[in-house]
Amino acid sequence: MTDFTHLDTEGRVRMVDVGDKKESKRVAVVMGSISMEAQTLELIMDEKGKKGNVLAAARIAGVMAAKKTADLIPMCHPLNITYVRVDFFPDRSRSKIDIEAEVSLTGRTGVEMEAMTAVSVAALTIYDMCKSYDRAMSISGIYLKSKSGGKSGTYIA
């Protein structure tokens, strides 16, 4: 097992020094889901919710969240993100919306946390905008689908 990079030799939490790493194009894609009652999904798809276009708001929230990740996760580096995409894949048969975020940059550290934050906040925004209709919504299955760049190379789930 490898050592935890965010711990120093005495076991104290620290931010990893990425100053000597080579810059490379780095891309991360993350997936997650939010499950809901069928009528809640229909309200979202028909844009009939009383708070407005749920998916448009969730997309904006996801992009903003990716850019604010270093303010939320203590040991994340502030990054000069060059691209964020947040997409939604409604599935009426499962009464669920799958959420996918892609984040990229050219830099010294990866963007996995930024993509995870984008998916998480997009799902939370859907929940927030629809909770008056459906308090049983469930956010689940947030995972790294793929990443590329850096010393560790490519990963595909």
Within a domain: 123: yes
pLDDT tens digit string along 29-55? 999 999 999 999 999 999 888 888 999
pLDDT class for 19, splitting at 50, 70, 90? low
Within a domain: 114: yes
Would the pLDDT of 27 be above 80? yes
Q: Is 157 helix (H, G, I), strand (E, B) or coil?
A: coil
Does 17 participate in catalysis according to the annotation?
no
Within a domain: 14: no
Within a domain: 154: no
Task: Of 60, 66, 72, 157, give the one whose Cα is nearest residue 112.
Answer: 66
Domain range holding 129?
A: 30-149
Number of domains in the chain: 1
Active-site residue identified among 3, 91, 128, 134: 128
